Structure 1
Amino acid sequence: MSKPGKLIQELNRMVNEQFATPEFHHFLTLPLNRDRARFFVTQSAHYIKNRRDSWGYVQGAAPLDVKAIIWKHEEDELVNDPRCNSDHYTLTVKTGESLGLKREEIDGSEPFPAGRAAFYAWLHLAKDRPWLEAFAASAILERRNNGKIVRGGSLSDRIGKKWVAELGFKWDEMPDMKIHRDADEAHSDLMEMIFNRHVKSASDEDAALRGARESLEIDRAFRGALADAMEKIS
């Protein structure tokens, strides 16, 4: 198997193991109520903003062909995704509106403390690491949300099913989760294309694995802290 092939195989193993961690287990088994869901939506809005900031830094340092691929990815996120005729932040706002939140409340909210720390950590990986490592750190979060790779369903799919079962929601009432079930499958395929072009040596492979591993560790910390904060909301 080629170096990129072995690398992709290892990354797929890592994203599947993410769902077996204590932090993800706590987050995905915590019972929901509408107030906990509102908190989740406001923090998801900050997560989305952090993804846009992080991808911007990755794009700035990447080679020209990679910049073009990231540009298309970010056009879906920031401007208009033809699958839903909306940018993705607006979809999160619409999900919040299904819970009675107003856009001004979401826009004016603050990250909770552990969330802010996680967002700064992701920005560090995106801004201060070599481009391939930084790219892997952001792309692994898309791959973690790819239901074709993750056994048992992507993160968005699992969260959406909890909302259906525990809050009585329909998928159309949570459009951000609905679109990310599909969008992140396409977006995570970008990782394979770029690794096939740019992973040429053992050091390249090590850089990609390091970025992905550290990003998933931050992801664990973020989801675990999010569950702890939600659990305190009665």
Structure 2
Amino acid sequence: MSLWPKVREELNAIVNKHFDTPEYHQLFSVKLTPERQKIWDMHYPHYIKSRRDCWGAAAVKAPLDVKRAIWEHEKDELIFDKRMGSAHLTDQQMAEAVAEESLLPGVRAALMAWMYLSTTRPWIEALTVNHITERKNNPAIVKGGGFTARFAHKRVADQGGTLEGLDINTKVHMVADEDHSDMFEPIYGKYIVDDRTAQSVIRAALDSLAVDRAYRSALATAMARIGESEVA
């Protein structure tokens, strides 16, 4: 018998509680001025590149049906999303990004930690390390909206403008991860059939979200060091 329904309920509770952690309160308490936004934007391409790297790593040891699901998931992100007219991260965007050595140490450590989890854990844990980062962005699961939607509303509240006027990447990710997280339902339903596997999936989710908290805190700390009226 599948234990996925029980694990699903636990994961949903975990991602909802994630937004009530000190690091998330820290991030959402920092007013997002244009100069602070530059710090966020500087790191964002590397965050997305890390997602692509880690999803690829999760596929390495996975069974064939899981590899197929991951490949289907990555089509929008890595190859072409018709909603954006491009991949979610293009070669040009990475070419224009700052060198990895220029990133905040806390951000670099978080990206390395995600890769470590994705390459050293059993395949179902590696899958969950990555899946949970999108589950927390699923507006059908997270009460009050997923991360991208919440941050988009914060950006508009702090800087003015409208949600419709935000960049296409933000607008797509406000809804994209509902489908992206739902597509692994059959995989978890098939493979979570004993308590040991169930507990390993929950543990992997918590470990990944701990890294996420560190990542967000590193950005929030750096942004807070810039005065609200400071202009470069």
TM-score (norm 2): 0.91
Contact 1:142 1:188 in 2 (8 A): yes
SS of residue paired to 1:89: coil
SS of residue paired to 2:139: coil
Contact 1:136 1:191 in 2 (8 A): no
RMSD: 2.0
Aligned to 1:223: 216
Aligned to 2:230: none
Q: CA deviation at 1:17?
A: 0.2
Alignment of 1:40-189 (within 5 A): 40-90=40-90, 105-108=96-99, 110-170=102-162, 171-189=164-182
Q: Deviations over 1:1-20 (max 9, x none)?
A: 95100000000000000000
List gaps (5 residues or longer) in structure 1.
94-102
In structure 2, C-alpha distance between the alignment counterparts of 1:53 and 1:165, rounded to whole Å: 33
List gaps (5 residues or longer) in structure 2.
228-232
1:202 corresponds to 2:195 = yes
Q: Deviations over 1:103-138 (max 9, x none)?
A: 765354632100000011100110010000111111
In structure 2, C-alpha distance between the alignment counterparts of 1:5 and 1:173, rounded to whole Å: 36
Contact 1:172 1:178 in 2 (8 A): no
Q: CA deviation at 1:172?
A: 3.8
In structure 2, C-alpha distance between the alignment counterparts of 1:116 and 1:78, rounded to whole Å: 22
**Cα distance change of structure 1 residues 70 and 26 upon mapping to structure 2, 3 Å threshold:** same
Q: Deviations over 1:62-97 (max 9, x none)?
A: 11001011001111101101222221124x95xxxx
Contact 2:55 2:130 in 1 (8 A): yes
2:6 alignment partner AA: K
Q: CA deviation at 1:45?
A: 1.2
Could you tell me the percent identity over the aligned residues?
42
Contact 1:24 1:224 in 2 (8 A): yes
SS of residue paired to 1:177: helix
**Cα distance change of structure 1 residues 80 and 175 upon mapping to structure 2, 3 Å threshold:** same
More off after superposition, 45-54 vs 172-181:
172-181
Q: Deviations over 1:24-55 (max 9, x none)?
A: 01101210111111110111111101111100
1:140 alignment partner AA: I
In structure 2, C-alpha distance between the alignment counterparts of 1:64 and 1:81, rounded to whole Å: 24
Aligned to 2:28: 28
More off after superposition, 10-19 vs 171-180:
171-180
Contact 1:156 1:180 in 2 (8 A): yes
